[in-house]
Chain A
Amino acid sequence: MKQMIDELKSIPGVVGACIYSARTGLKVNNLPGIFKPDRLTAVGKNLAKLCSAGRMSFDDLTDVSLHYDESVVVARELQKNLLVFVVCDPSFNQNLLTMSFNLLQEEVQESGVALDEFETQPKSQPAEAAPADGQVLSEEQLIGLFNEMKDLLGKVLGPMAGFIFDEMVEVWEQQGAADIGRIEGLIQLLNEEIADPEKIKHYRKLITPELKKYQKG
């Protein structure tokens, strides 16, 4: 993945590039140190939203470019939840960059590897291991936990629960990595939708055993 962005950096006018995952945050970057990782994560998050908004309006969207006085930021969705973005001088060659993005996207798609999932899987642990606090959940574990939480939300909110839950998960996933350490953020979003203190308390009581199961393994 590093090699991919190093190739982008070799394009005249390109200062550096990043790959950002909507689920796990910043994956790799070769921008100068002045661009701090936490700042780049925030930038990636906003660019991901921008690409989503663009895609909702234009089904043939390729890139989104932000032209500032001193720099241009260009972002491309390589696949769902995976974004590459570059910071360039205003004089960069857009056609060359577009072609490089096309090649990169083709490479990612042809590799048949979900880069996002591949990189987030802890290599030293078996995939089945339940995550400890702060670790990234596997896709399977995440779906399992979400299904339990969604069903339990139905007991509090009724038939609208599924719709609300899916919507809040989408928001939560855009806010950062899908790890158990951030699950309180999702619960907070759901609480805001539940809005009733008694029901919030009841929902907390219902999901606590499920959360413990995933946290302890």
Chain B
Amino acid sequence: MATAKEFIDHVARVDGVAGCLLVRNDGILLGQTVDDPEMYSTLLVISANLAAEVMEKAGFSYCRHIGFNRQAKSHFYVFPIDKYLLGVVQSSDCHASEMLESVHRLISRVSTNRSTVSIDGS
């Protein structure tokens, strides 16, 4: 069974990912490959909570991801995964939609337990 660290390593290897981190929804950092993980962790938790509130108010069903789009093109994405939050920093020169699709594919493998990957935080 893979650990959070191994999951992070999988995500970090996706083309177009400059760095990533995984936190629990209470903000506890489980693994990261970014500078300043504390700043990112806080943003992950705040943004996931706000996106959930928007979802409830607007009547949407499921939040796939949140994007913070930047002039420098190194956009930051938040992926809610059950009680975990994955943050991904995009490389400024990547094809965003392909990168996002790859990350979603990895997440879907984690969530459905179709692979050996299971985030247990250990």
Contact = CB atoms under 8 A, between A and B. Distances in A.
B64 A64 contact: no
Contacts of A198: none
Q: Is the interface of A mostly helix, strand, loop or mixed?
A: mixed
Contacts, number: 86
Nearest to A50: B50
Contacts of A58: 68, 70, 76
A68 B62 contact: yes
Interface residues of A, number: 28
Interface residues on B, range: 20 to 34
B76 A66 contact: no
B68 A64 contact: yes
Given A68-B63, A68-B64, A71-B60, A46 B50 contact: yes
A95 to B, nearest CB: 11
Interface string A27-60: 0000000110001001100110110011001101
25 contacts: A39-B58, A42-B53, A46-B53, A47-B54, A49-B50, A50-B51, A53-B47, A58-B76, A61-B68, A61-B69, A64-B67, A64-B68, A64-B69, A66-B54, A66-B67, A67-B64, A68-B60, A68-B61, A68-B62, A68-B63, A68-B64, A69-B60, A69-B61, A70-B60, A73-B58
Q: Is the interface of B mostly helix, strand, loop or mixed?
A: mixed
Interface in B95-121: none
A43 B58 contact: yes
B86 to A, nearest CB: 14
A100 interface: no
B111 to A, nearest CB: 14
A61 B75 CA distance: 9
A1 to B, nearest CB: 22
Contact of A62 (B47, B54, B65, B69): B69
B2 interface: no
A114 to B, nearest CB: 24
Interface string A123-141: 0000000000000000000
